[in-house]
Amino acid sequence: MAQAMIDQLVANARKAADEFKGFTQEQVDKITAAMDAASVANEVKLAEMAVAETGIGRADHKAIKNHLGAHIVYEYFKDKKSVGVIEEKEGVKYIAEPFGVLAAATPTTNPTSTVMFKSLIAMKTRNVIIFACHPRAQKCSVEAAKIMLDAAISAGAPKNCIQWIDTPSIEATGMLFNHPNVNLILATGGNAMVKSAYKSGHPAIGVGAGNTPVFVSKSANLSVAVNNVIASKTFDNGTICSSDQSMIFDDKDIADKAVKLLIERGAYLVKPEEKAKLEAVMFDKERGVPAMAIVGKSPQDIGKLAGINVPADAKLLLVPLTCIGPEDWFSHEKLSPVLGYISYNSTDEAIDAAKSQLKWGGAGHTAVIHAQDEKVLEKFAMEIPANRLLLNQPAVHGSVGLIYNKLPPSLTLGCGTDGGNYLGNNINYKDLLSIKTVASRIVDYERDE
């Protein structure tokens, strides 16, 4: 029965893709404009639905993520070409074609924003899309897909240009990924799901695990660095994969001052005897991932699970690290408002620790440095194995783009070959274009005669 359902979804998508391929730029832009308007009108409702269904994160912050994943993305691409000849230079025309039928998985941490984001970049590029939503976020994700679909069709898009699996399961997602008439997979979620996309035999755009190190140099503007870390780490209770996981210092005195500032500004410093209690509830050690019970929860809820009395006004839990590496579980990815910190005796040691954290826990993803010394900034940029290097800005807000920098706005962050992905950029509409080239002859014909 599941196979018949997938077959029908893909058949519907194939028909829609064949129709969509003939659309003009004007038709495409009308469709995405309608989707943008619908996304803005529903971003708060969808945020509230996501928190109610999953119990993860904060509705006010998820509304911001919805706004970024749809409206800000739309503003980024609305005037850009995605149909026909999109560029011509040096005698070569670059012609944009759609891939066709996309299969897309969406996570429980960003269930509505990811659906809206992928729907928009699919429609901008005349691709059709079928969603395999996370079972624990099926209701809110499907509602987001319906809103995008209804808006698209109202503006003239083909029927069935956006679809979804009604009864989600690992089996159904596998069938979708492996269907012979799927052209490209957009995989956002856990490592197992991303790996299954790569094993499908289809081209796939995937993501990797995030374990973002934040190096705070002795040359940093410390007050600004601390504010940036707090803003980033507490955003949606730490559910974005690029959020800060460990603050790494190159000077103990600077670290002590930073800890004092963090505590003054709302961090709860975890005592040594409390750290073991936290570790017991925070990690699924068999799978090597954060325990679902703590993902996106408040510091108070996490403390309650661990039997720790966390003050009502605490914004995050601050945990001293013994090392950067598998031996200290708190230098793993935590997907919660729990932040590790450690100090070293030199810039070289601190940068080596940041490199180590990425290599074993977040290869290719994101790294942050706070420093005013240009030589330190350059050394960090040249040596760190991450595809997003953020200088003097919050990890989350900087990594998703177009807030603190000019990176393309995106909720799918590639990790390159270090992270087991093909692409290492902020995935955007351009990555869903198949570019055909038409090269004019520039050699004089008479030379061949």
d(CA 125, CA 21): 9
Burial 234-263 (b: 16+ CB within 10 A, else e): bbbbbbbbbbbbbbbbbbeebbeebbebbe
pLDDT tens per residue, range 21-36: 999 999 999 999 999 9
The number of angstroms, rounded, from the C-alpha of 260 to the middle of its chain's C-alpha atoms is: 31
Enumerate the CATH 3.40.605.10 domain ranges in the chain, comma separated. Answer: 2-206+425-438
Judging by beta carbons within 10 Å of its beta carbon (0-12, 13-18, 19+), is residue 339 exposed, middle or buried?
Answer: buried
pLDDT exceeds 80 at position 164? yes
The residue-averaged pLDDT of 40-57 equals 98
What are residue 87's phi and psi, to 5 degrees?
-165, 150
Answer with the residue of higher pLDDT: 445 or 11: 11
pLDDT exceeds 80 at position 340? yes
Average pLDDT, the chain: 95
Q: What angle do CA 52, 54, 57 make, to 5 degrees?
A: 85
Give the per-residue pLDDT at 344: 97
pLDDT tens per residue, range 341-352: 999 999 999 999
Among 202, 113, 151, residue whose Cα is nearest residue 37:
151
Class at the top of the CATH hierarchy for domain 2-206+425-438? alpha beta
Among 160, 148, 163, residue whose Cα is nearest residue 31:
148
From the options 3.40.50.300, 3.40.50.10190, 3.40.50.1000, 3.40.309.10, give the CATH code of 212-401: 3.40.309.10
| DSSP structural state of residue 419 | G
Which residue among 161, 241, 323, 415 is the active-site one?
A: 241
d(CA 139, CA 61): 19
Give the per-residue pLDDT at 255: 98
**Strand pairing category for 92-98 and 433-439:** antiparallel
The residue-averaged pLDDT of 41-50 equals 98
**What tokens does 31 get?**
């469709």
| CA dihedral sign of residues 125, 128, 134, 140 | positive
Query: Is residue 161 annotated as a catalytic residue, yes or no?
Result: no
Give the per-residue pLDDT at 447: 61
Cβ of 284: how many Cβ atoms within 10 Å? 12
d(CA 162, CA 171): 21
pLDDT tens per residue, range 348-376: 999 999 999 998 888 999 999 999 999 99
Give the per-residue pLDDT at 199: 84
**What tokens does 230 get?**
């707090």
**Strand pairing category for 212-216 and 364-370:** parallel
Enumerate the CATH 3.40.309.10 domain ranges in the chain, comma separated. Answer: 212-401
pTM: predicted TM-score of the whole model, two decimal places: 0.94
Task: Please write down the HEC assignment for all residues of 284-328.
Answer: ECCCCEECCCCCCCCHHHHHHHHCCCCCCCCCEEEEECCCCCCCC
pLDDT exceeds 70 at position 444? no
pLDDT exceeds 80 at position 187? yes
The residue-averaged pLDDT of 276-286 equals 94
Q: Which amino acid is at 13?
A: A
d(CA 232, CA 243): 6
Question: pLDDT category, 448, cuts 50, 70, 90?
Answer: low
d(CA 32, CA 23): 13
Question: pLDDT category, 189, cuts 50, 70, 90?
Answer: confident
What are residue 215's phi and psi, to 5 degrees?
-85, 120
Percent of the chain with pLDDT over 90: 88
pLDDT exceeds 70 at position 276? yes
pLDDT tens per residue, range 82-133: 999 999 999 999 999 999 999 999 999 999 999 999 999 999 999 999 999 9
pLDDT tens per residue, range 141-158: 999 999 999 999 999 999
Reduce the DSSP state of residue 241 to 3 states and report it: coil
